[in-house]
């Protein structure tokens, strides 16, 4: 994994939308532990979560650098105020639960698409230097509304590089799979179901990509260093069968197959075959180059582009790296899910 130079964040003001979420808390702790930012602004809607987060970091040696902004990405004026004099924006705010997005499509569009537009406009107007937007595997060949809104958001951020005029602002996107232990993920659900001795799985063939929160944070930070604007970064991460995940968490529990849910895939995709012609391998990750972006350079000293095969795709079902039950149990222990 490539890590950002400490100098890139030194004395910088960083804004994190959705900053009280699972990713935001780990990202902010990592930055406070390892860098010397000027300030970190936490932008989110929930005052209770902000109060809890402030208490969590109150004894940190750099706690005085945290700023808390109540606000919603749907509110462009509030975003502009929060972004004043900020140099770096990490856009993590989103409606992420597939069933909630399916049942509330207008709300999902207002947050995930219109919110992305507001972040882009505010960043352009306030002279931000770098913007990284967090995406999801569900944005690749989407079949549910959440994935569709995130695909639209991804394209908005990539294309925003064409609107920057003479400014030096850069927009890029990171796309990764399921984050272990994030709010609403299946791992906390399985641990809860373990108490009753029955775990529910929608299909025994189902697979998913997996990444830990620290890995996701490191990937975002290293992509922030690599970005020149317009790339979509995809990490090389392992897959796992959901039945094996269930065995890793509750080896003695019974598994009940309940049938695939609306908007759910058997296997997830991080890179579709239709994206292969714009995809390059750079070692620990793939880069999907922008297809309609004149400002993107064809070569850079930061990485060597190795184009993938024309029929390449990156899906959780045919991933060359799969987690075994024992490997997952070790990861769960290392990340304090298992004792």
pLDDT tens digits, 144-167: 999 999 999 999 999 999 988 888
In this structure, is residue 78 part of a structural domain?
A: yes
| Strand locations in 175-327 (E) | 178-179, 198-201, 207-211, 232-235, 239-241, 254-257, 269-271, 279-281, 285-288, 306-307, 314-315
State which residues form the domain around 145. Answer: 8-334
Segment 30-54 shows an average pLDDT of: 96
pLDDT at 179 over 50: yes
Q: DSSP label at 96?
A: -
| CA 25/CA 217 separation, integer angstroms | 10
**Which pLDDT score is estimated for 35?**
94
**Which pLDDT score is estimated for 2?**
44
In this structure, is residue 204 part of a structural domain?
A: yes
In this structure, is residue 3 part of a structural domain?
A: no
Which residues participate in catalysis according to the annotation? 138
3 by DSSP, 3-state: which? coil
pLDDT at 298 over 60: no
The mean-pLDDT minimum among 6-10, 22-26, 84-88, 134-138 falls in 6-10
Which of 113, 108, 202 has the alpha carbon at shortest distance from 146? Answer: 108
**Which pLDDT score is estimated for 161?**
93
* Distances in whole angstroms, Cα of residue 225 to Cα of each of 8, 119, 132, 289: 8, 20, 10, 16
To 10 degrees, what angle do helices 115-126 and 76-83 make?
Answer: 40
pLDDT at 5 over 70: no
More confident residue, 184 or 322: 322
**pLDDT digit string (tens) for 99-116?**
899 999 999 999 999 999
The mean-pLDDT minimum among 170-179, 187-196, 235-244, 291-300 falls in 291-300
Tokens 């569709």: give the residue.
Answer: 148
Question: What's the domain count of the chain?
Answer: 1
CATH classification of the domain holding 201:
3.40.50.720
Which of 171, 66, 165, 166 has the alpha carbon at shortest distance from 116? Answer: 171
The answer to whether 318 and 241 are in contact (CB under 8 A) is no
| Strand locations in the chain (E) | 13-17, 39-44, 66-70, 88-91, 130-134, 170-174, 178-179, 198-201, 207-211, 232-235, 239-241, 254-257, 269-271, 279-281, 285-288, 306-307, 314-315
How far, in whole angstroms, is CA 75 from its chain's centroid?
22
| CA 71/CA 111 separation, integer angstroms | 12
pLDDT at 183 over 80: no
In this structure, is residue 79 part of a structural domain?
A: yes
To 10 degrees, what angle do helices 213-226 and 22-34 make?
Answer: 60
pLDDT at 336 over 90: no
**Which pLDDT score is estimated for 207?**
96
Confidence of residue 300 (pLDDT cuts 50, 70, 90): low
| CA 69/CA 90 separation, integer angstroms | 14
What number of residues does the chain have?
A: 339
The mean-pLDDT minimum among 58-62, 207-211, 303-307 falls in 303-307
pLDDT at 242 over 50: yes
Contacts of 142 (CB under 8 A, 6+ apart): 148, 150, 151
pLDDT at 20 over 70: yes
Mean pLDDT rounded to a whole number for the chain:
92
In this structure, is residue 339 part of a structural domain?
A: no
pLDDT at 126 over 90: yes
State the pTM of this model: 0.94
Structure tokens at 23: 């990713």
More confident residue, 122 or 6: 122
The mean-pLDDT minimum among 15-19, 179-183, 282-286 falls in 179-183
Segment 72-93 shows an average pLDDT of: 98
In this structure, is residue 329 part of a structural domain?
A: yes
Which of 98, 112, 103 has the alpha carbon at shortest distance from 263? Answer: 98
**Which pLDDT score is estimated for 297?**
63
């Amino acid at each position: 994994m490539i890590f950002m130079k400490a100098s890139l964040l030194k004395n910088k003001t960083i804004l994190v939308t959705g900053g009280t979420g699972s990713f935001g808390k780990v990202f902010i702790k990592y930055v406070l532990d390892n860098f010397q930012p000027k300030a970190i602004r936490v932008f989110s809607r929930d005052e209770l979560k902000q109060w809890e987060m402030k208490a969590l970091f109150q004894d940190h040696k750099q706690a005085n650098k945290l700023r808390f902004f109540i606000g919603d990405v749907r509110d462009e004026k509030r975003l502009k105020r929060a972004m004043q004099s900020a140099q770096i924006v990490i856009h993590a705010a989103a409606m992420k639960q597939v069933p909630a997005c399916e049942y509330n499509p207008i709300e999902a569009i207002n947050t995930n698409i219109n919110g992305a537009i507001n972040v882009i406009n505010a960043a352009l107007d306030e002279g931000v230097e770098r913007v990284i937007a967090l995406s999801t595997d569900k944005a690749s060949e989407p079949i549910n509304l959440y994935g569709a809104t995130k695909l639209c958001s991804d394209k908005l951020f990539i294309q925003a590089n064409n609107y920057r005029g003479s400014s030096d602002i850069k927009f890029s996107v990171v796309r990764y799979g399921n984050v272990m232990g994030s709010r609403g993920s299946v791992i906390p659900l399985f641990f809860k179901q373990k108490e009753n001795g029955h775990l529910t799985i929608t299909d025994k063939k189902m697979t998913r990509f997996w990444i830990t929160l620290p890995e996701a944070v490191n990937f975002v930070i290293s992509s922030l260093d690599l970005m020149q604007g317009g790339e979509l970064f995809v990490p090389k991460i392992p897959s796992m069968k959901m039945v094996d995940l269930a065995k890793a968490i509750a080896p003695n529990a019974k598994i009940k197959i309940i049938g695939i849910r609306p908007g759910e895939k058997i296997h997830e995709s991080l890179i579709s075959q239709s994206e292969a012609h714009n995809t390059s391998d750079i070692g620990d990750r793939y880069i999907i180059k922008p297809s309609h972006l004149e400002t993107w350079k064809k070569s850079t000293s930061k990485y060597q582009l190795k184009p993938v095969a024309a029929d390449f795709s990156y899906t959780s079902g045919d991933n060359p790296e799969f987690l075994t039950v024992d490997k997952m149990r070790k990861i769960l222990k290392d990340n304090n899910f298992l004792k």
